[in-house]
Amino acid sequence: MGLFNNNPRANTATARKQNRRVQQARPRPVPAPTPVARKPAVAAGVKGMRVNRRVDAPRAGAKPAVQGPRVGLRQMVAAVPRVGARGRRFFSLAARLAIALTLAWGVLLAVQSGYQYVTTSARFEAKSLVFQATPHVPVDRLQALLGLEPGTNILAVDTDALQAKIAAEPWVKRASVQRSLPDTLIVEVEEHEAAAALLSGYFYLIDRDGVPFKRLEDGERGELPVITGIDREQLVAGDARAQAAIRRGLAALNEYQATPRPRLSEVHVDEGGAVALYTAKTGAALRLGRGDVAPKLARFDALRAALGERAEQLAVVHLDLDATPGAPERVVASFLDPAAEAAVLARGAGAQKPVVKDIVEEPGAKDQQPVAPAPAKGKPGKGKKKKAATGNKFASGIPKYD
pLDDT computed for residue 163 by the predictor: 92
Q: Give first-to-last CA distance, the chain, whole Å.
A: 157
pLDDT computed for residue 381 by the predictor: 41
Strands 212-215 and 226-228: unpaired
As a whole number, mean pLDDT of residues 381-387 equals 42
Residues paired with residue 205 on neighbouring β-strands, in sequence order: 197, 214
Give the C-alpha separation, 168 to 146, whole Å.
12
Give the C-alpha separation, 349 to 361, whole Å.
12
As a whole number, mean pLDDT of residues 138-167 equals 88
pLDDT computed for residue 395 by the predictor: 61
Q: Which helix (H) or strand (E) is 350 found in, with range? A: helix 338-350
Peptide bond into 182 cis (omega under 30): yes
Give the C-alpha separation, 125 to 118, whole Å.
10
pLDDT computed for residue 83 by the predictor: 63
The pTM of the full predicted model, rounded to 2 decimals, is 0.57
56-110 pLDDT, tens digit each: 555 666 666 666 667 666 676 566 666 667 777 787 888 888 888 888 888 888 7
pLDDT computed for residue 252 by the predictor: 94
Given pLDDT bands bounded at 50, 70 and 90, which one contains residue 19? Answer: low
pLDDT computed for residue 6 by the predictor: 57
Give the C-alpha separation, 199 to 330, whole Å.
33
Q: Is the pLDDT of residue 260 over 80?
A: yes
Give the C-alpha separation, 63 to 52, whole Å.
19
As a whole number, mean pLDDT of residues 223-238 equals 92
As a whole number, mean pLDDT of residues 356-377 equals 38
C-alpha torsion sign, points 73, 75, 80, 85: positive
Portion of the chain with pLDDT greater than 90, in percent:
29
